[in-house]
Structures are given as structure tokens and as C-alpha cells.
Chain A
Amino acid sequence: MNAIIASALLGVLMMFASWIFDNEKTHTRIALAGLLALIVANLLQLNGVYTVSIDYKDMLSFTQFGLYVNTILFILTFLYVWLNGDEIAKIGNHAADFYALFFFILCGASILTSFNNLLMLFIGIEILSIPLYILTGSDKKNLNSNEAALKYFLMGAFSTGIFLLGITFIYGATGTFQLTSPSLNPATGMAKEQLMYSAGLILIFVSFNFKVSAAPFHFWTPDVYDGAPTVFTSFMATIVKATAMIAFVVLFHSQFKALGYAWELLLTFVLISTLFVGNITAVFQRSVKRMLAYSSIAQVGFMLFALYGPTNFANEGILLYIMAYSVASIGLFGVLIKMKEYSFEAFNGLAKKEPLLAGMTTLFLLSLAGIPLTGGFFAKYYMLNAAVQSGIGLWLVALAILFAAVSIYYYFKLIQAMYFVEGEPAIQEVEQGYKYKLLVFAILILGLGILPNVFLSYLYF
């Protein structure tokens, strides 16, 4: 509760910050301070301290898991703003406006980690999504950005409609929005209600696939990620996607588990096509930014394994996955922002000119590919273990592994360009401080890869 209120208030505060302060650097500082306050507020609740008490009629439920996810998301946002503050300031008139939007997104995120009611879930998703449409179109003079925003908005609105329809069906079948209500149990219903329930479930499932950009509902992703300003792509592809994924997992681990078979078959289909589309299409990309868009689809394919069963591996694994994936991706986008163009050729010879930067980029890529010593390895490992434990066929796991090997191809293409091809990299001057900031991300990736325990143990305090 602390986080929801604090983030909304901070959002409003940020909106007025651009009136009072003219300096964009100050905006960034205020935002960082706000994020720190948010983290503290959330940690307070994690330790049982509440600032306000509101009767929310059991529509929200604050679990250890949800609050810990909040902490992760806030810290990631903090790191993201800390790294990208200067870049954000370059876009639009007032950086403070964007920071306000970030806080609203985080408000949506903290609802999404604690919903106990389908309506709250819906509200959370909307609060999360609408600022995103604005962020996508924030580069007003760029046609691609405008197109992306429109596309994103139309697709998003459409999937919201589907989501609402799904909720309606479920309400019709059970008479409640409450997730923990005993009447939300399909086994007790009659045949007609069963049918309505399943239909609702599938619609919600489809809509979530839109949000996390799983194939075949991914078509908006490459264009939107490509069109949006790179700093915001970095935010959308990591923190926002992670939030949607967590909500997805939490929802389907709850009551919906009972109706397993119907949607598990569908899930298997979605999972395979996501891995297929993401990995195979990424191979053919010429722009690194688009390659990262497709790779983010491919990564979702792996995250979907967590949906199969509420095992320990699935719960811990999805956390590890969003951490490793987000840190590596924010880092990669952080390097990409400094490039003058986004083709693979632009990276030629980067290792010679900027050894540290190239080394860190390699580390991020290795993590996305799931090589040991990086966080990505344990993330993938936990997912595969969750899959095997939940009892789905080994063939699906083997298939995922084959696609992981395909992913090596496009991640390593970038490494090859940086290290083994001679050339003049198309990179702007990067100041030393920025590199040290990126180094923090690199260290986090190594930390996740060597002692994942440290990051997971807070889940149980």
C-alpha cells in the first residue's frame, strides 16, 4: 500500500517540478530522490510498517513475494534513471514530465504485484499502459515514433477490450471479481458456467500475451520498440515487461491453476511459437535495436515456462529471470544509446576503441544467451528446472534448448563485430563516468551469475 500511494503522490509532485525548476539535471535528481523514497516506503511495508491504513475491501493483498518484486522493480528503475538521466533530458521539453510518467507506471506496477481482484488487475494494467503510449510517442518530430505510438495505442486498446471481455465472462460464471473467493472455483459450476469460465480464462490469457508480447500476439513489439526513443525502449522492454510477466504468473498460479489443461495446451502452443518467432526472426535482423526487440520476445518464451506450475523453482526463477534479463538489457540499451547508428557494422572494431565498453557489452550478451558466470545462466536454469518439475514433456525443454543455441548466433554476431572485425565504430564520445555506471550493471550480472542466492534470500525474510 505504501508504494502505491507514494508512487502516485510522487508522480503528481514530479509534474509540478518542471514549473519550479528549470534545470533538467535537477529534475533527474528529484526523480532519483523520489525513487529512493519509494524504495524506502516499500521496504518499510516489507518490514511491517504501514503509513496509512485504508480499508481496501480485500481487493489487494500484499504478499512477501509481491513486495519483494516491488523492491526489485523500484531498484531497477532507480538504476535505469541513474544511468540514463542525461539521455532522457535530451528528449522533449521537460524531463520532469517523463519522470512523472515513470512514477505513474510504477504505481500501476505496484498494483499489479498485489492485486486480489480482477478489477484491480485491470486498473493496474491500464495505469501501467497509458503512460507507455505517451512515452512511445514522446519524440514528437520523429515519424517513426508517432507511428509506433499510434500502433501501440490501437493494439493496446484492443487487447484491453479482450481483457475486459474475459473478466466479464468470468464474472458471469462466478458472480465475483474476487480472486480468493470460494465461488471462483470452476469445478463446482454447471456445464454452461464452466464454458463461460474457460472462455473468460482464454481471453485473459490472450490479452496477457499481448502485454508481454508473446507470439502470435507479438506483432506490435518490433515496430514499437524500434520506433520509440531508445531510452524508453530500454524501459519498456525491461521493467514494464517484467511487471506484466509477474502479474501473468501470479494470476495463473492462483485460482486458474484448477482449470489447468485447457490453457496449458494453449500455453505450450504460445511458448513454442514465441521461441520460434523470437529466435528465428532475430537471426535475420540487420539493426541491433530490432534484434534486441526480437530477442526480448525470445526471452519471454523462456519466462513462460514459469507458468506451468507454482513450484519453488518457478517462483524464484521468474524473479531471477526478470532481474538478469532487465539488468543485462538496460545495460545493452545503455551502450546502444551511445551509438550513432544501430546496424551491426556500427559495432565493428569497438573492442579496440573502447575495450571496457566492449567487454561489458559482451558480458550482457553472454547473460542474455545464458552462459554460466552470468545471471542469465541461472535464470534459464531455474526455468528449465521448473519445466521439468512440473511434468511437461522433456521434448519441450529440448526444443527450448535448441532455440537457446540459435540465440547464440545473433548474440555472438555482435561480439564478433566488436572483437574480430576491424573497423571504425560509429560511437559517440562516452565519458568515463558513464562507463563506471555501466560497470555497476556488469557487476550485478556477475553477482547474479555467481551467487544468485544472495538475491533470492530476501524472498523469505
Chain B
Amino acid sequence: MVLLSILSIPFIAAIILLFVKQNEKANYIAIASSGITLALALNIAFNGAANFDTSWISSINARFVLTADGLSKILLLLTGISFPAILIATSKNDIKNRAQFLSLMLFTQTGLLGVFLAGDALLFYFFWELALIPVYFLCSIWGGEKRIAVTFKFFIYTFLGSLFMLIGIILVYTHTADQSFAIQSFKEANLNFGQQLTAFALFFTAFAIKMPIFPLHTWQPDAYEQSPTAVTMVLSAVMVKMGLYGVMRWLMPLFPEAFAAHSNFVVILSVIGILYASFIAIRQDDMKRLIAYSSIAHIGLMSAALFANNEIGTQGVLIQLFSHGVNVIGLWIIADIIEQQTGTRSLKEMGGLAKQNPTLGILLVGFAFANIALPLTNAFVGEFLMFNSLFQFNPWIAAAAGVSVVLAAIYTLNMVQKCAYGEVSEKINKMQVPNVPAQFVLIVLFIVVILSGVYPAPLFDLTADTLKQLFIK
């Protein structure tokens, strides 16, 4: 029942918000709803929750099953933390029709939670698409100048990908022994190697577009840049995780042979993507684009480690799913505060943030360190494990991916230098009043960064069962 309520709270709140007119009231409702969701997520993560299972479409044996194992829990935690953080941090931003905006945000949250909880392939697909629709409207209505074309590209890309996954689901479904969509039946489906390859390709297309893996990434930087920042945060912190989640939930257990056969191919693509994104990030002057490319590089590393197909790498990815989300939200919030108050995203026009607002300066440095995975920060734990796994997979590939660490240091520290240090620039001088709620959120997130960096054991415990399932047969 807890699982059903965590899904229905944002949904009900979203519907209520459709009828709310005042901005203030809407803010409270949305933040309260996301706060309750966070509490429930914490409860589920650390106390566990019973499966919710009820009949849905009996004639084709599709069931409404919600289930939470380690993999789901860690993403529930991430979704749970992200939304209140995002909503509070952007609560002072000037957004037209805020109630509708928040309503769509909460619909997105419902879709995301559904994806992470679904224990039935058709239900998974259902939520997978559902998470996309509100985002389409959010970006197209509240986005930047080129929003309509960019969002449409993003939508068509991901929609096409998920349709391929739908064929994959149908294909596996017709080969299940009991004609059911349950994960267990899918795992036991009677597929020969050729069919596995086809099904793998169909599922993989959807996940590769979502992550995205080079060369299917072209929708992403534009979409991140053009979306309103609150949505960008959702996209980059939580939504891209849908792709990685899909790989771990469906690809690895369902098509082990096809997965192994493709690991070289995908790892190489991912590493190309990492280097490509890192080099582009170095050349960026726009802070939002820089963070976007940096995020692509990080996700690339996660997909490489996942497809290296060993236990240590998968462990790293499971931890990093959470850490990357927290770090990237932190960076976005800082970028957003600066943009809201100064009206610029260009690094050239910044400088002297540390003098102007020392707290924000320190936080920027802190999140920058987390972004390059310095020890003591949360990202170090995950990235260390992931590089370890890549090294086991192939030292040369590990070396190539390792270059990205250096590159990450270059672009991140460059950003810090240009933004935080030097004389106070004309634009930064405009930042007279600190944005208190946003800074509060940043401090809380930073505490999470350090805590999970120093003492990551709870996260390991949380994901142990998923790891065991994937690797110990």
C-alpha cells in the first residue's frame, strides 16, 4: 500500500493544482506533496515495502504490480530528494501560471516514480511514456526562445525509441510460457539467441536514446539549454536515469547473452561519447551548456561501466545513480541563482562571486569538487568503482575513459575560476540579496554529498539485493 500511496500523492496533488489559482498556495501544495513523497521514499528505502499487486487487464494478463528492490529504492530516494529540492530552490523564480507549471511537474514525478516501481512490462511502458508527456508541455510552454522546435525533436526522438521498446515487449511477451508481462515470466521467456538479439536491439534503442549514448545524444544539449531550469534539473538528474534503470531492470536480466555479445560495442560508443562531451564542455562559455555536456560525460561513464558487465562496475553505477543526481542538481541550482539575478549565463561576464556572496562561492567550489569526483565527495565512491570495472574490462578503454577525469577537472575548475574568483564583475555586482531558500537547499544537498561520500555504507546495503540478483545466479 505504501507503494501505491507514493505514486498517488503527487498524482492527486497535481490534479488539485489544476484548480488552484494563487501562486503562493500552489507553491505550498506542491512542496508539501513532494515533502510527503520524500518521507515515504525514505520509509520505503530503509524499511522496505510489500509489493502491490492487482489485476489490471485480465484478458491479456497484464497486472498492476508495484515492487521495490534496491535498484528501485535508490532511484525512489533520488526522485524523492530531487523534487522538493528543485521546487524549493526555484520557488522565487518568476514563472507564469505557476500552478499549472507545478501541476505538470508533479505529473512528471508520478510518471518517474511509476517507471521505477513498475513490476510488469506493460505497466513499465505505460509510465515510461507518461513521464514524457508533461515534460513536453513544460518545455514547450515555459522554455527558451527555440523551445518548440527543440522540444519537439526531443519528444519525437524519445517517442520513437520507446515505440521500438514496445515491439520488444510484444516480442518477448509472445514467447513467455504463461503469456504474461511479469518480470519473472519475461526472464524465463523462451528466446533463442537470434530473438534475444532482436529484442535486445529494440529495448536498447529506447534506453540508448534516453541516456543518451553517442551518437543518439543530439537532442540533449539543446533540450537542457532551452528547458526552464527546474525542468532541466528533472531531466538531467532523474529522467536520464530511466535509461540506466531500464538497462539494469530489463536488458541485463532478460537477454544476458545478447548483453554480453554487445558489451564491447556499447562500451566503445560510451567512451567516445565521454571524450566527445568532455572536449565540447571545455569550449563552452554558456554555464548551462557546460553543465549539460558535463552531465553527458558522466552518464557516458555510467553506461560504459554498466556494459562492462562486471559486478564492481554495476555496484559503482548503482551508487552513482544517486550521487550524480544530487551533484548535478546542486550545479544547476547555482547556475539558476546566477542567471535569475544577473540575467546572464556567459562565464565571460561573471567573476567575483566568492567576494560578492561567499556562501554561494563556497557551495560552488564544493559541488565543483563533487563533479570531478574528489575524495570525500559522494561521486568519488562511484567513479572509483566504475573505473576499476573498466580497467578489469580492458585497460586501454579504462585509460581512454580516464582522460575524461582530467578533462572534467579542466572544464569544471575553469568554470569555478571564471565564476567565483577575480574582480567582481558588473553583472555579478547585481547579486545583492541572497536567494535564501535556494541556498538552504544547496546546503542540505551539500551535506548529503559529504555524508554519502564519507559514509556510503547505507547506499551499498540498499542496493546489495539488486547486485546479488544480477550477478549471482
For residue A453, which residue of chain B has the nearest CB? B57
Answer whether A394 and B198 are a contact pair too, CB < 8 Å, given A405-B163, A419-B137, A453-B58.
yes
The reply to whether B174 and A419 contact each other, CB–CB distance below 8 Å, is: no
The reply to whether B170 and A453 contact each other, CB–CB distance below 8 Å, is: no
Tell me the B138-180 residues at the A interface (CB within 8 Å): 140-141, 147-148, 152, 155-156, 159-160, 163-164, 166-167, 170-171, 173-174
The reply to whether B164 and A398 contact each other, CB–CB distance below 8 Å, is: yes
The reply to whether B126 and A372 contact each other, CB–CB distance below 8 Å, is: yes
A416 at the interface (CB under 8 A from B): yes
The distance in angstroms between the C-alpha atoms of A111 and B61, with both chains bound, is 33
Binary interface profile of B, 395-416, with partner A (CB < 8 Å = 1, else 0)?
0000000000000000000000
What's the nearest-Cβ distance from chain A to residue B109, in Å? 15
- A interface, how many residues as a size bin? 20 to 34
Main secondary structure of the interface of A (DSSP, over half): helix
What's the nearest-Cβ distance from chain B to residue A203, in Å? 34
A119 at the interface (CB under 8 A from B): no
Give which listed residue, A316, A394, A416, contacts B167 with CB less than 8 A.
A394
Binary interface profile of B, 311-351, with partner A (CB < 8 Å = 1, else 0)?
00000000000000000000000000000000000000000
B421 at the interface (CB under 8 A from A): no
The reply to whether B166 and A405 contact each other, CB–CB distance below 8 Å, is: no
The distance in angstroms between the C-alpha atoms of A382 and B173, with both chains bound, is 12
What's the nearest-Cβ distance from chain A to residue B279, in Å? 32
Residues of B within 8 A of A404 (CB): 163
| B-contacting 9-mer, from A12-20, A205-213, A384-392 | A384-392
Residues of B within 8 A of A412 (CB): 152, 155
Residues of A within 8 A of B140 (CB): 416, 419-420
For residue A406, which residue of chain B has the nearest CB? B156
Residues of A within 8 A of B133 (CB): 366, 371, 373
- B interface, how many residues as a size bin? 20 to 34
Residues of A within 8 A of B174 (CB): 385, 388-389
For residue B62, which residue of chain A has the nearest CB? A453
B250 at the interface (CB under 8 A from A): no
A220 at the interface (CB under 8 A from B): no
For residue A312, which residue of chain B has the nearest CB? B59
The reply to whether B167 and A453 contact each other, CB–CB distance below 8 Å, is: no
Answer whether A384 and B170 are a contact pair too, CB < 8 Å, given A416-B148, A453-B56.
yes
B222 at the interface (CB under 8 A from A): no
The reply to whether B59 and A401 contact each other, CB–CB distance below 8 Å, is: no
Residues of A within 8 A of B159 (CB): 405, 408
Tell me the B30-84 residues at the A interface (CB within 8 Å): 56-60
Binding site for A on B (CB under 8 A): 56-60, 122, 125-127, 129-130, 133, 137, 140-141, 147-148, 152, 155-156, 159-160, 163-164, 166-167, 170-171, 173-174, 198
Binding site for B on A (CB under 8 A): 312-313, 316, 366, 371-373, 377-378, 381-382, 384-385, 388-389, 394, 397-398, 401-402, 404-405, 408-409, 412, 416, 419-420, 451-453, 456-457
In the assembled complex, 7 residue pairs joining A and B whose CB atoms fall closer than 8 Å, in A order, are A372-B130, A384-B167, A385-B173, A385-B174, A388-B171, A388-B174, A420-B141
